[in-house]
Structure 1
Amino acid sequence: MTASLPSPSSTASSPEAGAPIALVTGGSRGLGRNAALHIARQGIDVILTYRSQAAEAEATVAEIERLGRRAVALPLDVSQSAGFAAFAAQVREVLSGRWQRERFDFLVNNAGIGIHAGFMETTEAQFDQLVDIHFKGVFFLTQKLLPLMNDGGRIVNVSTGLARFALPGFAAYAAMKGAVEVLTRYLAKELGPRGIAVNVVAPGAIETDFGGGAVRDNAQMNAFIASQTALGRVGQPDDIGGVIASLLLPGSRWVNAQRIEASGGMFL
């Protein structure tokens, strides 16, 4: 259930046609997958994207459908902005064929990579890759998808706690996320007339395979982060997915242009 359009009869159940729809980039694994599942549990259908792991995307779609929601996975390389117009056309086709709808409601800009390199060791190629994925990708993908979003919708951009506190080796990565945080405020201002709220969630250190899984697999790093966190442990994906999903719910409709750090209280 990737790029092809499955028929409505293939779902595990028959959710109401009017359920809201969220598009989650990088939704096949890690924080994106967890967010997609939390979103589905709130009665929201999901379009998720993946770059290369089609099998993981299929598994996430299947799990969402077991929750009684509709889901479709589409391939997308967020570093290649030249392909965003074609991707938007594909989303339009999926909305029509799968949901008999013209627009979706929520956008979660989550897809990303981690590069750990000291300032003096960071190459221009690494810098450009981070720009393309974490800033240019978010900027222009959002631009291309906005015509397909309903007024009154929500956008959630994913940043990092490293935009607040500084740790050696993340200068370029954190700078891109800082740019996204500024962009979030500008989007909130410019999209206000459409009733679209835009917020940013900044996770702290989380045990995933992100950045090679260092936080998860390096016992010394894990212990250090836990010792510097008020709640005394490193974060889990489930600590973040629920925060993202909550910003899409009606009860959060008045939260706008905010940076919400979900770090358990790191480096207070």
Structure 2
Amino acid sequence: MKKLEGKIALVTGASRGIGRAIALRLAQEGAMVAVHYASNAELADVVVQQIRRSGGDAFAVGADLLEQDGIHQLFSGMDAALTVRTGGDQFDILVNNAGRGQYRTIEDITSESLDEVLDLHVKAPILIIQQALPRLREGGSIINLSSAVTRIALPNVLGYSVSKGAVNTFTHVLAQHLGARGIRVNALLPGIVETDMNADTLGTAEGREFAAGLSAFGRWGQPEEIAAMAAFLASPDSRWVTGQLLDASGGSRL
């Protein structure tokens, strides 16, 4: 039996990059997956179809998490799709992955740019968790995507780093708060991973040298490597793990 057989997962920002890899891996382990996307329905449908061709079950849910009613739209779509499939709105795994990079030093940050990065990486996942709680089954798993920049000082991503530091904090607090329900709350801290977000860095010889030099393994990461760790945190194998910040950076800057 697959480790996530009978489970239902919501992965935000799952149409590409790390989110896509996590959606595919959770489906491979037997979960039904809600593939959230912000604007590109076509890319999300590609992920859904790939899961279905592999014998899994998935559906897409669109919502712009930066819009005022975005989180309501997310759960309205999720509830409707699950009611058709299961007769209810309950699910088991929430992966807060949606995000975007932002390259600004302290000199370049504006009020608007700071609002954007904090709204997407802090405000949205907290409110998503709030709305998910009545729907999450006992013993469920919440996985938040943080970043290794919370322990590695990179001045050109200050706002992004601050937002991910907040992810670490609310992960810790909510693990304590939700422990009585058996809900595990953990965070993954990737380093540089080969995704669209890091295309500029990995698009130059200098950037590739920098990225490879960060890791103890002398290379940058792949989305599937982060997805493997997410699958562990989603599965019963991690039933005694909560409130943890799991470094997924290939030993960057040890």
TM-score (norm 1): 0.90
Query: Which residue is equivalent to 1:236?
Result: 222
Find the residue that maps to 2:6 and give its secondary structure.
Answer: coil
Query: Which residue is equivalent to 2:197?
Result: 210
Q: How far apart, CA to CA, are the structure 1 residues paired with 2:142 and 2:204?
A: 33
Query: Which residue is equivalent to 1:200?
Result: 187
- Check the 8 A contact 2:172/2:243 in 1, yes or no: yes
Write out per-residue CA displacement over residues 56-97 of structure 1, whole angstroms, 9 at most, x where no aligned residue: 100000011122111010111122253323432322221111
CA root-mean-square deviation: 1.4
Task: Evaluate the alpha carbon distance shift between residue 81 and residue 157 of structure 1 in structure 2; reply closer, same or farther with a 3 A threshold.
Answer: farther
Find the residue that maps to 1:69 and give its secondary structure.
Answer: coil
Matched, 1:60 2:65: no
Matched, 1:265 2:251: yes
For structure 1, list consecutive stretches of 5 or more residues without a partner in the other structure: 1-14
- Check the 8 A contact 1:22/1:106 in 2, yes or no: yes
- Check the 8 A contact 1:135/1:176 in 2, yes or no: yes
Query: Which residue is equivalent to 2:103?
Result: 116
Query: Matched residues, percent identical?
Result: 39
Q: Give the paired residue count.
A: 251
Find the residue that maps to 2:215 and give its secondary structure.
Answer: coil
Matched, 1:145 2:132: yes
Query: Which residue is equivalent to 1:245?
Result: 231
TM-score (norm 2): 0.95
For structure 2, list consecutive stretches of 5 or more residues without a partner in the other structure: none
Write out per-residue CA displacement over residues 16-64 of structure 1, whole angstroms, 9 at most, x where no aligned residue: xx71100000001000000111111111110011011111100000011
Q: How far apart, CA to CA, are the structure 2 residues paired with 1:85 and 1:224?
A: 41
Matches within 5 A, 1:1-268: 19-210=6-197, 213-268=199-254
Task: After superposing the two structures, state which structure 1 stretch, 19-28 or 65-74, moved more.
Answer: 65-74
Query: Which residue is equivalent to 1:8?
Result: none
Find the residue that maps to 2:107 and give its secondary structure.
Answer: helix
- Check the 8 A contact 2:143/2:233 in 1, yes or no: yes
